[in-house]
Structure 1
Amino acid sequence: MPTIPSEGSLPPAREPLPRPAPEPHRHREVAESFGADAERYDRARPRYPRALIDRILSAVPGAGTPGATAPCATAPGPRVLDVGCGTGLVARQFAAAGCQVLGVDVDARMAGLARRYGLETEVAAFETWDPAGRTFDAVVSGQTWHWVDPVAGPAKAAQALRPGGLLAVFWNAGSPPPQLAESFAEVYRRLMPDSLAARQWSVPAMDAYSALCGKVTDGIRKAGAYGAPEQWRFDWEHTYTRDAWLDQVPTTGGHTRLSPAELENVLSGIGAAIDAAGGGFTMRYSTLAVAATRNGID
């Protein structure tokens, strides 16, 4: 189980995030591949620390007390737009905190699963999505904003936010024990050295996502519709069994388009590395967030 998150400042950006290209938002074919196994994605992907949800809601004027139960019909909670909602992992956490949530996702398969959980979801690329006059108290995005145009995305979010509303985008950066991380990297170097998955293990996740947060901050500033962006960090841990980690591996961008044979070889190698490490491991996660308030006064 995750430990209680702690909050701190982000380390400086050092290296670029390993991606299929320098501008991942131009390669939506990868983003649109996650729905091939939406149920696995929903089951295996990590959630987000409650401290992050509370921090976002505490920054939304009129959101009420973080941790409150769902409001009654006469006192609706904050209106939250979840960009790249996928199967609703983020949306369900905000709904549980008493928010009214609308999801937007480019993949109809992912959105369909979110609807099965009772979430209102629309299918569209966010840059071309139509707010249709609706406004929100917060626009959030978990593990997705790198697939959104870095300037058009904040501009569209500003159209959907009420004055004083919050844009908050975030990622889970996971670090297994160093020796196991090297064993994972060796599997990819041996089996598929030129793959996206191999590149993802070539830079520590914390460095990579810190650099990404810097790029997102620049994009928000260029949009010209927000106050000064802030960067937040929440640290927590989760222990994986061998089977639980192997269940998650196929849901990541470096694996969703592998052939069955390639994936089987990778999973065999990763499984052997975990077996050699004792059959499980503790992942140290840092959830990194960039947040900015929409200019203007209600």
Structure 2
Amino acid sequence: MDPHSDTLSAARSFGAAASVYGAARPGYPTEAVGWLVGDSRRVLDLGAGTGRLTEALVALDLDVVAVDPVEEMLEELELRVPGVPRILGTAEDLPIEDAAFDAVVVGQAWHWFMPERAVPEIARVLRPGGVLGLAWNARDTASADWLREAGELMHERHDASASVDSVVGPGRPFGAVESHRVEWTMRMSRARFLDLVRSRSHWLTSPPAEQGAVVAAIEELLAAHPDLVGAEDLEVPYVTHCFRAVLR
């Protein structure tokens, strides 16, 4: 069995929850995105999903094309970022001409790729000296006890963003990997936090009984934790982990 087909199947589990994913997931700080792309102008957002990273790229007045293997995600992206060209495709087989982009950026998706096939394809569509930029948003569970408990209930150990160092490193023909991190806080309602739970791949691929149990446990935590009693909204601390490498 092709392991890539299993990965694609898992990635496509997001399709049924595209609108929830788009509404619940956080965006990316301007500082982080600017660091990823440097002075690039034409950028490919690979694994673009519902367009959270695309939004930040467009806000920087960049020329952006979005690629994702899930049609429902790209449809949600069109609603969120109208007018951005969308291409249905995978990192391992990009339907794009050679040397077309100054930068390829990947938000929250590198761990879905097969690097031995994706890296040559990314290098092919980059111009000489082009940049590959990778970003993950991770909830900063170390800074809030309630968030650490929520992470355990959400099976945080399954989240690639919790161990980004283990999945980063494109290798040749890219040079050394640089890293950067941006700490920030997102204010959200309790309902949005529950939607965030429902947008995660582990929850989406779990049996209905387990899904219900996880949501119920999170609801109980949000209602009872002493740090949250009386709070109208939640202050959710994040760290955006950024990595970039230049095509040699």
- Scaled to the shorter chain, the TM-score interval is 0.7 to 0.9
Larger Rg: 1
Aligned position for 1:239: 187
Contact persistence 1:213–1:290 (CA under 8 A): no
What is the aligned partner in structure 2 of residue 12 from structure 1?
A: none
What's the counterpart of residue 262 of structure 1?
Answer: 210
Secondary structure of the corresponding residue to residue 53 of structure 1? helix
Task: Give the structure with the larger helix fraction.
Answer: 2
1:235 aligns to what SS in structure 2?
strand
- Counterpart-to-counterpart distance in 2, 1:54 and 1:212: 20
SS across alignment from 1:288: strand
User: CA contact under 8 A between 1:239 and 1:282: conserved in structure 2?
Assistant: yes
The residue type equivalent to 2:137 in the other structure is N
Q: Is the 8 A contact 1:44 1:248 kept in 2?
A: yes
In the TM superposition, 1:1-298 aligns within 5 A as 27-57=7-37, 59-60=38-39, 63=40, 78-116=41-79, 117-133=82-98, 135-176=100-141, 178-181=144-147, 183-184=149-150, 188=153, 197-198=154-155, 200-201=156-157, 209=161, 211-217=163-169, 220-221=170-171, 224-277=172-225, 278=229, 279=231, 280-295=233-248
8 Å CA contact 1:233–1:287 kept in 2: the answer is yes
In structure 1, give the amino acid aligned to 2:239: S
- Report the TM-score, using the length of structure 2 for normalisation: 0.86
- Distance of 2:78 and 2:151 partners within structure 1: 37
Report the alpha carbon displacement of residue 104 of structure 1 after superposing the two structures with TM. 0.8
1:192 paired residue number? none
**Structure 1 vs Structure 2: percent identity of aligned residues?**
29
Counterpart of 1:129, as a letter, is L
**Aligned-pair distance for 1:185?**
5.8
CA distance in 2, matches of 1:244, 1:267: 12
Give the letter aligned to residue 243 of structure 2. V
* 5+ residue gaps, structure 1: 1-22, 64-77, 189-196
Distance 1:246 1:262 in 2: 15
- Does the aligned pair in 2 maintain the 1:25–1:149 contact within 8 Å? no
- The two structures, once aligned, show a CA RMSD in angstroms of 2.4
Amino acid in the other structure paired with 1:48: Y
Superposed CA offset, 1:262-298 (max 9, x none): 3233212101101112255432211111101111xxx
Measured after TM superposition, the shift of residue 172 of structure 1 is 0.6
State the match for 1:6 in structure 2.
none
